[in-house]
Amino acid sequence: MSSSSGQPQFRYTQTPSKVLHLRNMPWECTDEELIELCKPFGKIINTKCNVGANRNQAFVEFADLNQAISMVSYYASSSEPAKVRGKTVYIQYSNRQEIVNNKSSGDVSGNVLLVTLEGVEPGDVSIDVIHLVFSAFGFVHKIATFEKAAGFQALIQFSDAATALAARDALDGRSIPRYLLPEHVTSCHLRISFSAHTDLNIKFQSHRSRDYTNPYLPVNPSAIEGTLQPVVGPDGKKKEPESNVLLASIENMQYAVTVDALHTVFSTFGTVQKIAIFEKNGGMQALIQYPDVTTAAVAKAALEGHCIYDGGYCTQ
């Protein structure tokens, strides 16, 4: 069954649970409203309302699994969707078998999740896929990925603990959709717990870490796709892979090099979309992004080895 908006009201692949997860609830929905919707199907023993960044999600726990199945089955076959205050409510089984209000010390809720991606190697699941999956539950501030003894893991920072809780309850034990994975990866299961971190320290934007709150953070060259694998030409010699992003190393600095100065120089050859300046190995470097490879190649051929300022200072 589908709602008028085209969004499926149920996810049929889920394992039944006596805890149901309800989305698209009205703003500041009360426990009484939630119980009123669910009580025709059985005894309600616990509820949790106003979950998530928009406070429009809720959980309800039935006394018996068959009661939860009865509710899901009823609305799956009904011509009228479940509604609260006239809003269509989307229902799915939770991966939890109970609503736990008093968490143990090892599972104290916070705004940062520790996610273990099982069944994959580092690099199989990109940071963009991780962001896509988790941002469905609210604004993701930061992501950091790394390898530990437990495998490939990620720390994901949300605005608040309620949003992180909603994401964990919905995704823990689930799999990333197959179409988001490389062909050689058959499945990727998510095992999620809360981290003791509250604010991740992201120093660079890269293929391993992102800070979505700071667009001016320096970009690590490893974030530029295609710079890690050497390309071999017809003569067997390595050649630089072509890209619409140039990496400029600035030498013999006698004057300050600013974003404006670089923009003036590089925009001579075409529209400059982005510039990021950073220090590496004691030197100054910059990433300059053009709309296409051709423009970048022209700029590189014209500027490589030349000076930014008159007088022979600051070669690039």
User: Domain limits of the chain?
Assistant: 19-93, 112-211, 245-315
Return the structure tokens found at 257: 């090099």
- The CATH class that applies to domain 112-211 reads alpha beta
**Most confident residue range from 37-46, 107-116, 234-243:** 37-46
pLDDT of residue 229: 42
CA neighbor of 200 nearest in space, from 288, 127, 266, 141: 141
Q: Percent of the chain having pLDDT more than 90?
A: 25
Which helix (H) or strand (E) segment holds residue 228: the answer is: none
> Which residues, other chains included, contact 243 with Cβ-Cβ below 8 Å and sequence gap of 6+?
224, 225, 226, 227, 293, 296
Stronger pLDDT, 28 or 228, i.e. the higher one: 28
pLDDT of residue 4: 44
Tell me the pLDDT of the chain averaged across its residues: 80
Look at residue 136 and tell me whether its pLDDT is greater than 70: yes
pLDDT of residue 104: 40
Q: How deeply is 160 buried, as exposed, middle or buried, from its count of CB atoms within 10 A (0-12, 13-18, 19+)?
A: middle
Separation between Cα atoms, residue 32 and residue 276, nearest integer Å: 53
- The answer for 245, left when phi > 0, alpha when psi is -120 to 50, beta otherwise, is beta
Q: State pTM to two decimals.
A: 0.43
Question: Which pLDDT band, with edges at 50, 70 and 90, does 308 fall under?
Answer: low
Given CATH 3.40.50.2300, say whether it is the number of domain 245-315.
Answer: no
Question: Which residue type sits at 269?
Answer: F
Q: Which residues pair with 285 in a beta bridge?
A: 249, 278
Question: Which residue type sits at 271?
Answer: T
pLDDT of residue 3: 43
Are 112-211 and 245-315 equal in CATH topology?
Answer: yes
- The CATH class that applies to domain 19-93 reads alpha beta
pLDDT tens-place string over residues 53-90? 777 889 999 999 999 999 999 998 888 999 998 899 99
Residue range 236-243: average pLDDT?
55
